[in-house]
């Protein structure tokens, strides 16, 4: 292919390729950094959900003996069902928030020996700066896509955790209204 172009035209194409791949490389690094920050933020958010679970479950278990002691006409079975349903949603919240913190195996950069073998096999094309930049972009593209996929799973788990937590609060309100209706 080089035989059809003179050296000035090739140099101009290489310069343009370098400019373009340098631009893509900057965007790739920015996107990767954004995914990394997103991952850290999601893990922190799941930790906050675990903390909320701790406070809520402590409150439920601290209040339960007092409520049972002054239950009036309400049966112990009523409280067993009510507290169990609240704790059920809280446990779902805890489990999904904990699962969101797992560090799963993601696509990573290849080992150095793999890179070296690739360069040995393709040294003529790898000499071009544009090809080096292209290789960088391709490698980081795979890593970033894998990290984004893992983060999307974390988002789903955190949403389930948050909705379960909200369900436990709604459940408390519903059981409170039911208890008031049974008492009066």
Task: Please provide the average confidence, as pLDDT, over all residues in the chain.
Answer: 88
pLDDT computed for residue 161 by the predictor: 97
Mean pLDDT along residues 126-146 = 85
For 36-45, 128-137, 141-150, which range has the lowest pLDDT when averaged over its residues? 128-137
Q: What percent of the chain has pLDDT over 70?
A: 95
The pLDDT-based confidence of 133 (bands split at 50, 70, 90) is confident
pTM of the model: 0.79
Q: What percent of the chain has pLDDT over 90?
A: 53
- Side-chain-side CA neighbours of 25 within 13 Å: the count stands at 14
Torsion over CA: 123, 128, 131, 132 (sign): positive
Which residue range is the domain that position 55 belongs to? 2-183
Tens digit of pLDDT for each residue in 89-120? 999 999 999 999 988 777 777 777 877 787 77
What separation in angstroms does the CA of 103 have from each of 35, 100, 139, 175?
Answer: 14, 8, 21, 38
Residue count of the chain: 184
Give the angle subtended at the CA of 93 by the CAs of 77 and 71, to the nearest 5°. Answer: 25
Quick one: CA torsion of 154, 155, 160, 165, rounded to 10 degrees?
100
Burial status of residue 82 (CB atoms within 10 A of its CB: 0-12, 13-18, 19 or more): buried
- The tally of domains found in the chain comes to 1
For 63-77, 87-101, 124-138, 161-175, which range has the lowest pLDDT when averaged over its residues? 124-138
């Amino acid at each position: 292919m080089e035989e059809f172009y003179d050296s000035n035209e090739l140099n101009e194409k290489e310069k343009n390729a370098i400019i373009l791949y340098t631009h893509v490389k900057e965007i790739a690094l920015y996107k990767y950094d954004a995914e990394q920050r997103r991952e850290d933020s999601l893990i922190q958010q799941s930790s906050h959900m675990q903390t909320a679970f701790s406070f809520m479950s402590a409150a439920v278990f601290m209040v339960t003996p007092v409520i049972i002691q002054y239950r009036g006409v309400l049966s112990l079975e009523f409280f067993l069902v009510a507290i169990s349903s609240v704790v059920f949603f809280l446990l779902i919240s805890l489990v999904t928030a904990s699962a969101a913190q797992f560090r799963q195996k993601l696509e990573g950069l290849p080992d150095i020996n793999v890179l070296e073998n690739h360069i040995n096999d393709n040294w003529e094309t790898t000499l071009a700066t544009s090809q080096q930049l292209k290789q960088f972009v391709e490698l980081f593209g795979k890593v970033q896509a894998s990290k984004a996929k893992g983060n999307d799973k974390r988002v789903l788990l955190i949403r389930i955790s948050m909705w379960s937590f909200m369900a436990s609060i709604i459940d408390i309100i519903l059981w409170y209204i039911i208890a008031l209706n049974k008492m009066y």
